[in-house]
Amino acid sequence: MSAPAQKTAISPTRAEDFPEWYQQVVRAADLAENSDVRGCMVIKPWGFGMWENIQRHLDRMFKDTGHRNAYFPLLIPLGYFEKEAAHVEGFAKECAVVTHHRLEIGPDGKMRPAPSAELTEPLVIRPTSETIIGASFSRWVQSYRDLPVLINQWCNVLRWEMRTRLFLRTAEFLWQEGHTVHETSEEAVAEANQMLRVYQIFSEEFLAIPVYAGEKSESERFPGAVSTLTVEAMMQDRKAVQAGTSHFLGQNFAKASNIRYLSREGTQEYGWTTSWGASTRLVGTVIMTHGDDDGVILPPRIAPSQVVILPVIQKAEHRSTVLEAADDLAAEIRNQRYAKEPVTVEVDKRDVGGGVKNWDWIKRGVPIRLELGPRDLEKGTVAIARRDRPFKEKAFRPVEEVVKGIPGILSEIQAGLYQRAKELRDQYTVRIDSKADFYDLFTPKNAERPEIHGGFAFAHWSGDPAVEAQIKDDLKVTIRCIPTDPAFKDETPGKCIFTGAPSPRRVLFGKAY
């Protein structure tokens, strides 16, 4: 019970040191840990439970838009990978390469890759699957009747990273990658737009994270894409996270993989392809958007459990009665429905003190905590606490009222988290009209807190990549997107604030994870 004695459960606080706060929250909430394998994380059950819910809901949305899941090889022949020049250039530096297919005991008595089992062509662990899936698509697509091909894959990918951070940037991560082929450019563009919209809806409705939707500038495009669309979220440290991207690939990969079809006119044509993905990075995004100085705060729609019941047992003689009542209460709660699904609940029966238990669940961010002890059983009450309210706000209420009230409270929490995140984002998104103001916005005012800056800026930019490079170099600021969302795009022409050249519209700038 040391936690309640502290000012906050997590130290340092967000205001003191946001990056370190993040690491401490991930640890305190039991979400993930580093492994001994460079850059590869272990996702613990509570963190994986978030990912399972993200998967489940996104998967439903993908299926509702006509996509089906499939699975393609982990390993990509080097020859495939080389076919699209921009693509290989973009990923070559981060590829893990398999060169042998057997171990043996070497002359020093230690295990080593067997020299006699060296592969004639090395294999690359997929950093993304355009090329390996393209090889299948070239077999699957023969005629316009085979189109569109609408496929999704849930899998692990690997991009060797030197500096990693749990969930946000790891060498191996889990994701989904959609891959589609279409008869026309227009259909492929419509698909890429549709899937961006899916990511936006998912982010806002399930993760309770508002996003700016738009297109990446050329320098930030996916290697090999014609255009990359993105949804960008603002974290509490005012930095941006890309929460999902959707690429229109033109005919680049169709040509590289020879995806051709017999058209309605009887000619051979290359297909038009898209790809789109979201990853376990979303788990980190949720933490950094909603967490507070006591730990994670989970949006109910992706919480592994929406309610936890904490049996209060001070005397051994009460144990079985209280646990039984807790199980009964759990069963009643499971009969309630929130967002068209049964409410999820677990009973923490661990043999540890009540204070420790309570703080464990505060740190893990479970939306609703219920305490149930012998006195409650006598009175027919239960103590209820909400994670979006101060931890001391605990109310004793009749059991039936609590049970019936749970779906409403979950709705309130979900909506409240979105609202709070949106207010923060709107507060720190500003229109900037001069280079001086721009540099001021992104320059830390306190040398000890170099991560603190002003937020996102909507400003005019002529489209010149040299300007982008300069800003990135000076301030680590990038163009997050050229907004396409009617709610935000501002296509009033103006002048680039850096060069004075004519600018067709404002674009969104920010520092990014």
* Binder of a copy of itself out of 20, 82, 205, 293 (CB under 8 A): 82
Cβ-based neighbour number of residue 323 at 10 Å? 16
Question: Minimal distance in Å, beta carbon 16 to a copy of itself?
Answer: 27
| Extended strands (E) in 380-500 | 381-386, 394-398, 429-431, 456-460, 477-483, 494-495
Query: Rule CB under 8 A: is residue 145 a binding residue for a copy of itself?
Result: yes
Nearer to a copy of itself, 232 or 360 (CB): 360
* Binder of a copy of itself out of 10, 25, 58, 132 (CB under 8 A): 132
Q: Which two tokens stand for residue 493?
A: 């022409």
| Interactions with a copy of itself, residue window 41-60 (CB under 8 A) | 41-45, 48-49, 51-52
Query: Rule CB under 8 A: is residue 262 a binding residue for a copy of itself?
Result: no
* Binder of a copy of itself out of 16, 104, 186, 451 (CB under 8 A): 104
* Binder of a copy of itself out of 78, 190, 377, 475 (CB under 8 A): 78
Query: Rule CB under 8 A: is residue 103 a binding residue for a copy of itself?
Result: yes
CB 242 within 8 A of CB 512: yes
Cβ-based neighbour number of residue 100 at 10 Å? 15
Alpha helices by DSSP H, listed for 337-396, are 354-364, 374-379
Pairing of β 494-495 and β 502-503: antiparallel
Would you call 466 helix, strand, or coil by DSSP? helix
Nearer to a copy of itself, 8 or 263 (CB): 263
CB 343 within 8 A of CB 307: yes
CB 243 within 8 A of CB 282: yes
Query: Rule CB under 8 A: is residue 212 a binding residue for a copy of itself?
Result: no
Question: Minimal distance in Å, beta carbon 69 to a copy of itself?
Answer: 5
| Of 109, 65, 8, 378, residue with least CA distance to 202 | 65
Question: Minimal distance in Å, beta carbon 302 to a copy of itself?
Answer: 15
Question: Minimal distance in Å, beta carbon 421 to a copy of itself?
Answer: 27
Nearer to a copy of itself, 187 or 437 (CB): 187
Nearer to a copy of itself, 16 or 52 (CB): 52
Q: Which two tokens stand for residue 214?
A: 């738009």
Query: Rule CB under 8 A: is residue 178 a binding residue for a copy of itself?
Result: no
| Of 391, 412, 203, residue with least CA distance to 293 | 391
CB 403 within 8 A of CB 334: no
* Binder of a copy of itself out of 60, 101, 337, 375 (CB under 8 A): 101
Q: What are phi and psi of 64, to 5 degrees?
A: -65, -20
Stretch in the footprint of a copy of itself (CB under 8 A) among 150-158, 286-294, 387-395, 412-420: 150-158
| Of 455, 420, 314, residue with least CA distance to 373 | 314
Stretch in the footprint of a copy of itself (CB under 8 A) among 107-115, 212-220, 266-274, 483-491: 107-115
Return the sign of the alpha-carbon dihedral for residues 223, 227, 232, 237. positive
Alpha helices by DSSP H, listed for 141-270, are 185-205, 252-257
Q: In degrees to the nearest 10, what's the CA dihedral of 26, 409, 322, 356? A: 30
CB 346 within 8 A of CB 323: no
Stretch in the footprint of a copy of itself (CB under 8 A) among 104-112, 197-205, 266-274, 432-440: 104-112
What letter does residue 170 receive in the DSSP assignment? -
Cβ-based neighbour number of residue 444 at 10 Å? 13
Question: Minimal distance in Å, beta carbon 487 to a copy of itself?
Answer: 34
| Interactions with a copy of itself, residue window 17-46 (CB under 8 A) | 33, 35-37, 40-45
- What is the contact mask toward a copy of itself in residues 278 to 317, using x (rule: CB under 8 A)? ----------------------------------------
Query: Rule CB under 8 A: is residue 1 a binding residue for a copy of itself?
Result: no
* Binder of a copy of itself out of 19, 27, 70, 356 (CB under 8 A): 70
Question: Minimal distance in Å, beta carbon 350 to a copy of itself?
Answer: 7
Query: Rule CB under 8 A: is residue 88 a binding residue for a copy of itself?
Result: yes
Angle between helices 399-427 and 319-334 (to 10 degrees): 60
CB 156 within 8 A of CB 173: yes
Return the sign of the alpha-carbon dihedral for residues 190, 192, 194, 196. negative
* Binder of a copy of itself out of 5, 7, 64, 93 (CB under 8 A): 93
Query: Rule CB under 8 A: is residue 85 a binding residue for a copy of itself?
Result: no
Distance CA 488, CA 108 (A): 65
Query: Rule CB under 8 A: is residue 71 a binding residue for a copy of itself?
Result: yes
| Of 306, 283, 304, residue with least CA distance to 410 | 306
Stretch in the footprint of a copy of itself (CB under 8 A) among 201-209, 266-274, 316-324, 344-352: 344-352
Question: Minimal distance in Å, beta carbon 70 to a copy of itself?
Answer: 5
Stretch in the footprint of a copy of itself (CB under 8 A) among 13-21, 92-100, 178-186, 315-323: 92-100
Using CB under 8 A as the criterion, which residues of the chain lie in contact with a copy of itself when the complex forms?
33, 35-37, 40-45, 48-49, 51-52, 68-78, 80-82, 88, 92-104, 110-113, 122-125, 132, 135-136, 139, 145, 151, 155-156, 158, 160, 172, 174, 350-352
